[in-house]
């Protein structure tokens, strides 16, 4: 995207010496590295824009961790919100927040914040039990899970969980911190190990640690894995693209390869497309580009 296609580009970044600061029309320095304070960061950005009398028509980011901040900025500026999502409805990766003078689609801030948290996402999908004509209920796309925030949660999972289980970061990205646990003893050891190694953003940049390092446990599903990229405009499905993922590395669940277009039977591809569209729109993500990961069981898609 070049200046010839835009009237004005305003770049916001935590680095006061960002390499692109002299290549944009306006540069705003705000240290927004602590994402637990995103509401305050958004207010600072808003004040900078107002004080400089900059008129903007839209905001976007390509960094997963910055999506909630971008949504909050848009709320303060009464702008529509755009999100480019990747891996459990997050975003792609470029290190800055950028304002542009073109009108992007809308995704609600509440939906963005819910989608950033895996347990909150699954809770919402489970609660959606209303019949929708010709569509399954979104609760059918979920499997057993449990937040893992304390020792009490750990003890409860030991009692009621069916092993093996998958443990992952609530705000995680790219399978970092994801592991399989085979029994009650192993889950406690792995929990302490991951929490000790992954605490702050600097421990592993770009995987969501700026939002916290709480964890969750999920049912281990033996099935094929697929990514669905959907384009939604005004709650209407514009396009969908399905990728088949090859088997992941044992215990860490990092992908080894992918195939697109999918070689699944057409009917199963339709099921994945409908599931991705329903999950996004139920979360309030009604405009934008989103990526949702599914496991395809014999009974249908399950969120990954």
SS3 content of the chain, % helix, strand, coil (to 5): 35, 25, 40
pTM above 0.85, yes or no: no
Q: Which CATH class is domain 145-219?
A: alpha beta
- Whether the ω angle into residue 261 lies within 30 degrees of 0, i.e. cis, is yes
The neighbour count for residue 153, using CB atoms within 10 Å, is 17
The neighbour count for residue 99, using CB atoms within 10 Å, is 28
CA angle, 68 then 72 then 76, to 5°: 170
CATH 3.30.1490.20 boundaries in the chain: 145-219
Residue 231 and residue 247: Cα distance in Å, rounded? Answer: 26
User: Smallest Cα–Cα separation from 75: which of 41, 36, 32, 118?
Assistant: 41
43 Cβ contact list (under 8 Å, min separation 6): 76
Residue 53 and residue 106: Cα distance in Å, rounded? Answer: 24
Q: Give the ranges where the chain is alpha helix by DSSP (H).
A: 38-51, 67-76, 109-116, 118-127, 151-160, 184-197, 266-283
**Angle formed by the axes of helices 151-160 and 184-197, nearest 10°:** 150
DSSP 169-185: ETT--TTTT-EEE-SHH
Collect the ranges in the chain with pLDDT lower than 70.
Answer: 1-7, 80-107, 130-132
CATH 3.30.470.20 boundaries in the chain: 117-135+221-303
Asked if 281 and 236 touch (Cβ cutoff 8 Å), the reply is: no
Q: Which CATH class is domain 117-135+221-303?
A: alpha beta
Residue 205 and residue 195: Cα distance in Å, rounded? Answer: 15
The confidence score (pLDDT) of residue 254 equals 78
**Angle formed by the axes of helices 109-116 and 266-283, nearest 10°:** 120
- Taking only the tens place, the pLDDT of each residue in 271-302 is 999 999 999 999 988 878 888 999 999 889 99
Locate 118 and state its tokens: 């895996």
CA distances from 159 to 92, 153, 195, 217, 241 (A): 38, 10, 21, 13, 40
Asked if 55 and 78 touch (Cβ cutoff 8 Å), the reply is: no
């Amino acid at each position: 995207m070049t200046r010839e296609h835009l009237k004005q580009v305003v770049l916001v970044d935590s680095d006061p010496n960002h390499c692109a600061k002299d290549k944009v029309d306006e540069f705003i320095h705000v240290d927004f590295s602590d994402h637990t304070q995103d509401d305050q960061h958004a207010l600072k950005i808003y004040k900078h824009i107002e004080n400089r009398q900059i008129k903007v028509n839209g905001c976007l980011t390509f960094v997963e961790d910055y999506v909630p901040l971008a949504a909050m900025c848009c709320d303060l500026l009464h702008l529509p919100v755009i999100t480019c999502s990747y891996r459990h409805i997050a975003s792609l990766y470029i290190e800055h927040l950028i304002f542009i003078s073109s009108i992007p689609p809308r995704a609600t801030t509440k939906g963005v914040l819910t989608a950033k948290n895996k347990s909150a996402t699954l809770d919402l999908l489970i609660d959606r039990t209303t019949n929708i004509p010709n569509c399954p209920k979104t609760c059918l796309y979920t499997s057993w899970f449990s937040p893992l925030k304390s020792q009490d949660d750990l003890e409860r999972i030991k009692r009621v969980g069916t092993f093996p289980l998958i443990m992952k970061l609530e705000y995680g990205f790219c399978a970092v911190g994801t592991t399989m646990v085979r029994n009650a003893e192993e889950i406690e050891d792995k929990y302490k190990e991951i929490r000790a190694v992954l605490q702050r953003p600097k421990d592993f940049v770009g995987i969501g640690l700026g939002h916290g390092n709480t964890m969750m446990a999920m049912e281990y599903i033996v099935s094929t894995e697929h990514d669905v990229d959907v384009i939604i405009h005004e709650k209407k499905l514009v396009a969908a693209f399905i990728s088949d993922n090859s088997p992941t590395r044992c215990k860490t669940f990092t992908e080894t390869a992918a195939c697109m277009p999918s070689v699944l039977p057409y009917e199963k591809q339709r099921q994945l497309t409908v599931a991705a569209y329903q999950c996004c729109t139920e979360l309030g993500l009604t405009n934008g580009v989103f990526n949702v990961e599914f496991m395809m069981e014999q009974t249908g898609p399950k969120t990954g």
